[in-house]
Amino acid sequence: QVQLVESGGGLVQAGGSLRLSCAASGRTFSRDAMGWFRQAAGKEREFVGRISWVLSTYYADSVKGRFTIFRDNAKNMVYLQMNSLKPEDTAVYYCAAGSLSGWDYWGQGTQVIVSS
């Protein structure tokens, strides 16, 4: 079974930090792009950032300079380090694995709540 499982979400004060983890299993994802998305209540899913298999990264303007994506291919994991969190970052965060054709696998999501 191919699975992506997110963890590390929770409640944090504005200005704080969280690190989200995404554990992949079922096959290696070392040559896939790994992405992070989020969906706030009442809003559509939005792109947060991605990391390619050659470790290039790209971020949405809303998180640029605050969020960083890392990956550990030996552990088949990808991380989203979130710093200087804002209330508008509150959302369910999803990791995804993709190719040139699109995003092929999705995790179940982990909730992040940023309070004032």
pLDDT tens, 52-62?
Answer: 999 999 999 99
CA distances from 25 to 12, 51, 64, 110 (A): 29, 18, 29, 17
pLDDT at 95: 98
Interval 85-115: pLDDT, tens = 999 999 999 999 998 889 999 999 999 999 9
CA distances from 95 to 13, 47, 63, 86, 115 (A): 23, 10, 16, 20, 23
Residue 23, beta-bridge partner list = 5, 77
User: Other C-beta atoms within 10 Å of 113: how many?
Assistant: 14
Look over the chain and give the mean of its residue pLDDT values, rounded to a whole number. Answer: 96
Environment class of residue 86 by beta-carbon count within 10 Å: exposed (0-12), middle (13-18) or buried (19+)?
Answer: middle
